[in-house]
Amino acid sequence: MLPDELTDPERDIPEREHPVRAEEDLLTARHAVRATAVAAGFSIIDQTKIVTAASELVRNAYIHGGGGTMTIAVVRDGRGRMGLGLSVRDDGPGITDVEQAMADGFSTGAGLGHGLGGTKRLVDEFTIDTTPGRGTTVAIVRWKP
Ligand SMILES: Nc1ncnc2c1ncn2[C@@H]1O[C@H](COP(=O)(O)OP(=O)(O)OP(=O)(O)O)[C@@H](O)[C@H]1O
Ligand SMILES: [Mg+2]
């Protein structure tokens, strides 16, 4: 694991934006999230949880949102705890009923409808900001134990 001074959010792991426009961007996004989680010293299990969560969100932005942008950031809370934060935003149709969209088994597409609910269970913080006709931003944080 890297010593804390090497994982300073301002110097070594700057916030990065990744476009989610094409199929291959999904893989690039996964790799970027994995690399950041490794650099931030997350366990292999936590890396996998974070990458799985990110993967669901970028896939949603790609499939339901018509493409978007993923932002990765190493964040700290008031007590200095480090976390990996991700936001995935798109300018797609938005979600009219968030509660319904979060429910396992609900899908307007060909999926199983487990993406959003599953993602929420994999992370510590989960917020959806969506406006019908305007787009959707999902932000997540996984704190480092
Ligand atoms: N970025 C988004 N823009 C618009 N609608 C979305 C977005 N993300 C999710 N939704 C809506 O919420 C529903 C549930 O999303 P969820 O990820 O849980 O399931 P899914 O994508 O349909 O299937 P799965 O992820 O299991 O393959 C989607 O079917 C879609 O209607
Ligand atoms: Mg999904």
**Domain parsing of the chain, residue ranges:** 4-143
What is the predicted pLDDT for the residue at 16?
Answer: 87
> What are the pLDDT digits (tens) for 66-121?
999 999 999 888 888 899 999 999 999 999 999 999 999 999 998 999 999 999 99
Contacts of 136 (CB under 8 A, 6+ apart): 60, 61, 64, 65, 89, 90, 92, 94, 95, 128, 129, 130
Ligand 1-lining residues (CB < 6 angstroms):
56, 60-61, 64-65, 90, 92-95, 101, 106-109, 111-117, 136
Q: How many CB atoms lie within 10 A of CB 92?
A: 20
Ligand minimally distant from the alpha carbon of residue 64: 1
Give the pLDDT band (50/70/90) at residue 13.
Answer: low
Please provide the CATH number assigned to the domain covering 4-143: 3.30.565.10
What is the predicted pLDDT for the residue at 12?
Answer: 52
pTM over 0.85: yes
